[in-house]
Amino acid sequence: MSKAESVTAAVVVIGDEILSGRTKDTNSGHIAETLTGLGIDLKEVRVVADDQAAIVEAVNALRARVTYVFTCGGIGPTHDDITADAVAAAFGVGIDHDPRAIAMLQERFPNPADLNEGRLRMARIPVGADLIANSVSKAPGFRLDNVFVMAGVPSIMKAMLSVVAPQLRSGVKLESETVRADAKEGDIAIPLAAVQKAHPQVAIGSYPFVEGDRFNTNIVLRSRNVEALAAARAALEAMLSELR
């Protein structure tokens, strides 16, 4: 697959509660793992506030440069849920109560008294969007062009992503191997750079970690070419055993 055909993505996490530190974002890590498994390169994650201008800016900047944008958060029934309006504004399209979305909500709230004005806010969908089914609590997400708008509650986001994933064009999977160096990063940095230089088809990352009170290093090799990956791994292991 040529570089021009690579499939790329970005994530926009929306919510004051993430920026205040009150809630820790786990959605972007889950999306990252899922995309990697599909051979899609996640290029950027942005966390922005519940602020229309901030959401519009992030969505418009990112949708122009990647294949797919995924947003999480801000599609509930309350006044601080403004993502659907912000995405409609980003695309310059209208937004209104969508009969398909109302039908989904009626499955969960068959009694008309329960499907109140607040819950009906969750049926407000930008014009032209396709809905993303929500098996957990029915209120749908939506897809507008290359932007997928999903919930912030992790269980619901995961349910929506599992619906979305089969719709995505997948790339050639980036194969990855991890080699534990049993050495400190600083002791292998220069020979490791030589291995990287000799194997340009493989991206070699070096990740220090602390074990007890000692530093150790994981080397991660990533490539879409399995022969190149095997050759780089062999060179890395030869380099490491020479150091021991």
Q: Which range of residues in 126-134, 141-149, 199-207, 226-234 is near its own copies by CB under 8 A? A: 199-207
Name residues contacting its own copies, limited to 124-143 (CB under 8 A). 137
Sole binder of its own copies in the list 170, 205, 225, 243 (CB under 8 A)? 205
Smallest distance, its own copies to C-beta of residue 167, A: 20
Nearest to 84 by CA among 47, 139, 27, 162: 139
Residue 21 zone, left/alpha/beta (φ > 0; ψ -120 to 50; rest):
left
Across the chain, the runs of DSSP E, i.e. the strands, are 8-14, 41-48, 68-72, 95-97, 124-126, 130-132, 141-144, 147-150, 175-180, 203-211, 214-223
- Told to check if 223 binds its own copies by CB under 8 A, we report no
Sole binder of its own copies in the list 130, 177, 185, 237 (CB under 8 A)? 185
- Told to check if 19 binds its own copies by CB under 8 A, we report yes
- Told to check if 67 binds its own copies by CB under 8 A, we report no
Q: Which range of residues in 79-87, 88-96, 142-150, 231-239 is near its own copies by CB under 8 A? A: 79-87
Q: Which range of residues in 30-38, 89-97, 157-165, 235-243 is near its own copies by CB under 8 A? A: 30-38
- Taking the least distance from each CB to its own copies, the nearer of 26 and 167 is 26
Please, which residues bridge with residue 41 across strands? 8
String marking each residue 102-121 x if it binds its own copies according to CB under 8 A: -------x----x-xxxx-x
- Told to check if 8 binds its own copies by CB under 8 A, we report no
* Pairing verdict, β 203-211 and 175-180: unpaired
DSSP letter (8 states) at residue 11: E
CB-based contacts of 11, cutoff 8 Å, min separation 6: 27, 28, 31, 32, 42, 44, 45, 46, 69, 70, 71, 72
Name residues contacting its own copies, limited to 36-65 (CB under 8 A). 36, 41-50, 54
Question: What does the block give as tokens for 208?
Answer: 């220090």
Sole binder of its own copies in the list 52, 60, 206, 216 (CB under 8 A)? 206
DSSP letter (8 states) at residue 82: -
